[in-house]
Amino acid sequence: MPGKGKDFSSLAGEELLKAMDEWAERRETLAEDRTKLAQFRTKLAEERTALAHRRTELAEGRTKLAEGRTELAGKRTALAEGRTHLAEKRTALAEGRTALANNRTELANKRTALAEGRTELANKRTSLAEGRTHLAEKRTELAETRTGLAQGRTELSRQRTELAEGRTKLAEGRTELAGKRTALAEGRTNLAEKRTGLAEKRTDWSQKRTDWAEMRNKLAEIRTRMSGGRTGLAQSRTNLSQYRTILAKQRTELSYLRTGLTLIALGTFFTRYFGFGYWSIIDGFILLTGISSIVMAIRLFRKSFFIERKLVIRLEEELASEAVEKRLESSIQAHRFGSF
């Protein structure tokens, strides 16, 4: 990762590759916390946006440089055309000199004036081409022997014309290459703008994802708090179920008591109706069973009565409004999340 004073837009070359490798190594660690990863991606998108703006500025500078080169190529082309025109004039002068070579005795004065003119033209050509300056100085020194070399000079002029034409074609090719380079620079600029737009969209999406993660965490916190409340309600429901079980047990004990009273009444009826005899044994057994049922019902009812009293007191304490509010606050404190 880049230092605190640097960002990805200020890195280049091996430093940028190294930073990207370190970021890839820490990607698994950052995946554990999606919120931090979203914030890191947001920062990375902003730095990529800054890098894209920087690349756009560089592309615009390259475009301006390509336009300057195109203008320079146009000037060079115009200069090459002037040179070609000048070479054609020199060729015409050389042919005239060849025609006037037979009359060199009569035209010596004219040849001297032409030599001086050639010297002036050579001085001007010196400012246009360093190589041509050397040739112009030699032509000035060899002005007296130029008559014998007129034909060779004519051939040299033709070659110079061909070279000028080749230079013109080269300048045209350079102009075409400059135009293509300009088109490529414009395409690169468009791609940089599109990349910048995509980076901005990615930044917005990362922000939205961060907001959704915060909303999901808050919903999880609310759900956890509600689960604490449900836990308290489940405990109260369990206590109520125990109370209902005790009531059912008491109903059973009351049924034992009713059964015992019924058996005692039945045994007393049989004893008074049939009197004492062999059947009195059955009547006594019925009476003993009824009495045993009543005693067992009283003993069980006494135990369940004390348990019921304790459970009722505990239920009154748990179902009180203050106890419910205290239980909800304790569950909220136990499951409280950090703020996002």
Look up residue 74 and give its amino acid: G
**Residues 102-107: contacts with CB under 8 Å, at least 24 apart:** 104/147
Radius of gyration over every alpha carbon of the chain, rounded to an integer in angstroms:
57
- The span from the CA of 317 to the CA of 50, in Å, is 65
Closest CA to 161 of 256, 210, 88, 94: 88
Alpha-carbon span 42 to 79, nearest angstrom: 55
pLDDT, position 325: 65
Ordered by start, the domain boundaries in the chain are: 8-209, 214-334
How do the pLDDT tens digits run along the chain, 340 residues long?
445 445 656 666 677 777 777 777 776 665 566 677 677 778 888 888 888 888 888 888 889 888 988 888 888 888 888 888 888 888 888 887 777 777 777 777 777 887 788 788 867 777 787 776 677 677 778 777 777 777 777 887 788 888 888 888 888 888 888 888 888 888 888 888 888 888 888 888 888 888 888 888 888 777 776 666 677 677 777 877 877 887 888 888 888 888 888 988 888 887 777 777 777 788 788 888 888 888 888 888 888 878 777 877 777 776 666 666 666 666 656 655 444 3
Q: What superfamily does domain 8-209 belong to in CATH?
A: Methyl-accepting chemotaxis protein (1.10.287.950)
Give the CA angle between residues 154, 164, 133 to the nearest 5°.
70
Residue 81, φ and ψ in degrees, nearest 5: -65, -40
CB atoms within 10 A of CB 153: 21
- Report the amino acid identity of residue 2: P
Is the separation of the CB atoms in 218 and 338 below 8 Å? Answer: no
Output DSSP code: residue 277.
S
C-alpha distances in Å from residue 49, one per residue of 7, 29, 44, 144: 12, 25, 8, 73
Distance (Å, rounded) from C-alpha 32 to C-alpha 42? 17
Q: Where are the beta strands (DSSP E) in the chain?
A: none
User: What is the CB neighbour count within 10 angstroms for residue 115?
Assistant: 15
Task: Give pLDDT, residue 83.
Answer: 85
SS3 annotation, 115-150: HHHHHHHHHHHHHHCHHHHHHHHHHHHCCCCCCCCH
Question: Which candidate, 182, 190, 207, places its Cα nearest to that of 46?
Answer: 207
